[in-house]
Amino acid sequence: MNVKGIHHLSAMTGDAPGNVAFYTEVLGMRLIKKTVNQDDTSAYHLFYGDERGNPGTELTFFDFPVIPKHIPGLGSISGMSLRVPSDAALAYWSERFSAHGVKHSEIQAFAGRRVIFFEDPEGQQLSLVSDETNAGVPGGTPWERSPVPVPLGITGLGPVKLTVRNPAGTLAALRLLGFTEKSRVPALAEGQADIIIMQTGEGGSGAEVQVEPRTDLSVGRLGYGGVHHVAFRVEDKEELLAWIEILNREGLRNSGFVERYYFRSLYFREPGGILFELATDGPGFVTDEPFETLGESLALPPFLEPQRASIEAKLKPLHTKR
């Protein structure tokens, strides 16, 4: 039993309005769910994705305005990537980034694909990866009302980079989930070991993790501009419960079953200190809102609905363009 690929990534922002503006107006992703952090309902939890937030397309942000800036380092998710359909799409994005003042690299080759590295306004480290020659886990469908033309739009999540001091434990955890080594690429930092490329399921950019060993860094400190956790796809609740048994058998402390309403989850830290989540492909985001109006209103799962008045009183209104 293997995980199928990347389900979602959850990052940190200190500026919810600016975050929405960048990810919807510049990157052209759809805000598919405006809800709250279920463990701290004073904070927004914003979900972006393809037209309906299919698994493997979801990039999410917790909004904590008072947190400090992220300090990169060991035990962190140090890079996120977003998929686009082709090399021609990368050329479009290079021009778009320049027009919008987005800090970005030239189009270059990395780990067998053409990529553009860029930052969001809070310093979040991202890249766009071309699926020109990619096989494997299929991407999603960009929203037709996006400001970015659909044939050039973002189709989902690509490879995730993990930075650790000793890769052995991280690699063992990934192998337990069904990942196997695909290749190695030269380190991005001088004097460091090769980056180890791991893949699972059908493979391709939507099922890839890059493990970067570093001996020249201190431990990172999570803040705005950093990534909280990475989630991997499992089919359904029954499979998730089976994974709980596997983790317990392996001696990996975990959260056990967690009901998130839009999907079901469990959480554990791999030996390098990075938080992993396993999340089911369903039920999905149209369970409590029509497809046509996803993300337009504050959505709360049924177990938080009785607290709506007190929750809304603690949140600053967040207006989005449509």
pLDDT in tens, the chain (322 residues): 899 999 999 999 999 999 999 999 999 999 999 999 999 999 999 999 999 999 999 999 999 998 999 999 999 999 999 999 999 999 999 999 999 999 999 999 999 999 999 999 999 999 999 999 877 999 999 999 999 999 999 999 999 999 999 999 999 999 999 999 999 999 988 999 999 999 999 999 999 999 999 999 999 999 999 999 999 999 999 999 999 999 999 999 999 999 999 999 999 999 999 999 999 999 999 999 999 999 999 999 999 999 999 999 999 888 666 5
- What stretches of 57-128 show up as alpha helix (H) in DSSP? 87-99
pLDDT of residue 318: 87
pLDDT of residue 135: 78
pLDDT of residue 1: 86
Give 207's DSSP letter: G
pLDDT of residue 24: 98
- List domains and CATH numbers for the chain: 6-293 (3.10.180.10)
242, 1 Cβ separation under 8 angstroms: yes
pLDDT of residue 253: 96
Report which of 205, 50, 26 is spatially closest to residue 120, judged by C-alpha positions. Answer: 26
Give 289's DSSP letter: S
* Dist CA 277 CA 249 (whole Å): 17
232, 274 Cβ separation under 8 angstroms: no
pLDDT of residue 84: 98
Report which of 48, 34, 10, 3 is spatially closest to residue 229, judged by C-alpha positions. Answer: 10
| Cis bond upstream, residue 283 (ω within 30) | yes
Residue pointed to by tokens 């929750």: 311
pLDDT of residue 322: 56
Q: CB within 8 A of 108, min separation 6: which ones?
A: 114, 115, 116, 117
224, 46 Cβ separation under 8 angstroms: no
Radius of gyration of the chain (CA): 19
Q: Hey, CA dihedral for 276, 281, 285, 287, is it positive or negative?
A: negative
Q: Tell which phi-psi region holds residue 312, choosing left (phi > 0), alpha (psi between -120 and 50) or beta.
A: alpha
13, 122 Cβ separation under 8 angstroms: yes
Q: CB within 8 A of 262, min separation 6: which ones?
A: 33, 283, 284, 285, 287, 301
The first and second tokens of residue 285, run together, are: 């985001």
Report which of 47, 46, 144, 129 is spatially closest to residue 90, judged by C-alpha positions. Answer: 129
For Cα atoms 284, 232, 167, give the angle at the middle one, nearest 5 degrees: 165
- pTM, entire model: 0.96
